[in-house]
Chains A and B, each alone.
Chain A
Amino acid sequence: MTDTTKLPKGGVNPPTELPGPRDHAIVNAALPNRAIIPMLQHVGRPAICTVKRGDTVSEGMLIGRADGPQSANVHASVPGVVAAITEIMLASGERCEAVHIDLGGSFQTSGKPRTARPWKSLGAPELLERIRAAGVVGLGGGAFPTHLKLARTPGTCTLLAANGLDCEPSLGADDALLREKAPEIVEGIHICQALLSPGRTVLAVSECSADLVPELERVIRDAGVPAQVVVLPARYPQGHEQLVVAALEGRPPRRDPSSVAVNVATLHAMFEAVVLGRPLIDRVLTVTGTTVARPHNLKARLGTRVGDLLEECGMDPARTAKVVLGGPMRGVTVDSLDLPVTKATLGIVAFSRDEAKAPRETACIRCGSCIEVCPWDLNPTRLYKLIRMGDDSQAAVEGLGRCTECGCCSYACPSRIPLSAVLGDGRRRASALGNGGGRNV
């Protein structure tokens, strides 16, 4: 059964200037000659490197052991020799160890058929252990260790939402996965159900993927999984966990422990981990931008150089002024193209010069557009002025903590005020002061 639910409030229609991926196909990216694999690709403590220079590693071999529960395993994405172990700075600005692997040797796993391991008989602990061992983290950008997210006492979860909405405009990886890996994703949903025994399970897809609904429903029926497909509007930032849940439950968004949303890419990774026993060594990401000749959804090995992927898609270096990791709205601008793809890299967007230059900020004319588009029902212009006056704590009192920097306000502002960025800084300061400014995700 299918129905369409609206955003409770707010949101913007995706910026149309940017082309999405040319087609829905997932293209395998070329293997990197040298993979640079950071030990910190997730939320939490960095993994502990278990290899040293000169070691020979096989594909999928554990090279970083999770440092305690608040961490995740890291595996070699390509076979080869450890050329170096250096400290690098990630796009987020964090520093961590990274293992440089020079491609070489043979592939034991890739391309070879894998036998499905039975899992239905397993209990929650074993399932979670398989997920943990494979180093699965949230692939929707959050990169929160999945074995932590799904470790809950059964029955406490009323709603399980499989999130098939790409979380930013002009990104198409989740849509592509739904088209090519529906059975795997559905089995992933099944695994989640086994773990959570939720009251209700929904596979939420975007309007862009609406044509898939019959197919998805067929797959679900064949798999005998009790789940329902729901189409949600393509408006940004509908893909955000809280907004998916809010739309499904028809209420304003808020942090709500009784509902769990899992990205379809994560579900696919869970399937591979639990059923195929394959660790997380690659991910699907969208490479796009006005200066990119052939935008594609690439399936890239973790540790592949960002620059290589852009080249592969035909980026014109002369015209490119700015490259962001993530999406056009919330992506992080990177200063070097040598950064590796990590588990958290949703996409790579290249901007031309005139797109990149920041528009001139003018005075706020109190038009209220930011209030209208804010999905969290905040008053961005007032919060902005409070922060500007240095009254972060009052801003926190007025709900600054709910801001997720989705960027809708900045996008809608006719005066081109960088509302989202300023609110983000203020929120971080306020939460540092520890007066209720904490982010809630």
Chain B
Amino acid sequence: MDFDWMKIPYALLTLFIVVNYGMLQNALIAKIGARVGRRRGIPIWQNYADLIKNYSIRSSITHGVMYYLGPVFRLSGGVGLLLFVPSLYGSEMFSNLSFAGDLILALYFIFFGTLGMALGAAESGHPYAAIGITRGLQQVSAAELPMALAVFSVALQYQTLSVTEIVAAQQGGFQNWTLFTNPLAVAAAMLSFLGSMMRPPFDVVLAPQEIPIGPPTEYHSSYLALMQTNRAIFPIAKIVIYMNLFFGGATIWPEFFLKVFLIYMVSVLVGVVHPRFRVEQSIRWFLVWAVPIGILSIVLV
């Protein structure tokens, strides 16, 4: 495949759009949450202020090389994930860098940032960081399973691992979406999605007062800023995969924004009405409820 240098500015454009959208969406969702609690909530630009503030912190400490690199890994993972998946279907401009690999690449690249972050946080030497990481890893290991099954089911369904081709197969009306052609897979995937969004009931990883926000306990100033940037990108990047696989993808940015927002809202809605699971409870929950659905989807596809 010939490489086109124009892809680079296009990819940066995608990045720019998604970062901004992510910041605003996070604020919007926080606001929605506040409104549910009958508060006004944060200003819509609050995230920008926080980000700038964190970049503007004058002093910082480092615990070592990996600690220093952790946020870099984290953000690289987010950016890479975003760029390895086409954002808009049928748009040469926003197919990003998806020529480098297919769905499998994207799924495994999720771990890139996780791993780096885990290493960085662990080097801080803080036990809470390590506890948080182990919780996260354990929970994700179970949560990933239904997702993997669902992805596999979809790949079997469309006989391809290329994201573009999967989206292509869903074009021509919402009845062609995987949501309707393979509802079991979508159900499994969405349950898994809940587990990967770090929202209740699966947010014991952060547990702000018990293990002061877990892995990033020691992170601050520009490190934290990097991670905040990632928080704007990474969920979107993940949701883009879901959107492409299950919800017909998007052909224009408004559709993209809408679908991403709605998918995100699923986890928010579940989150605001559920208490927290302990780790072993969430492992059991995924294995007992989500995995069978995934298995069914594989068997039946």
Q: Do A and B come from one complex?
A: no
Interface residues of A (CB under 8 A from B): none
Interface residues of B (CB under 8 A from A): none
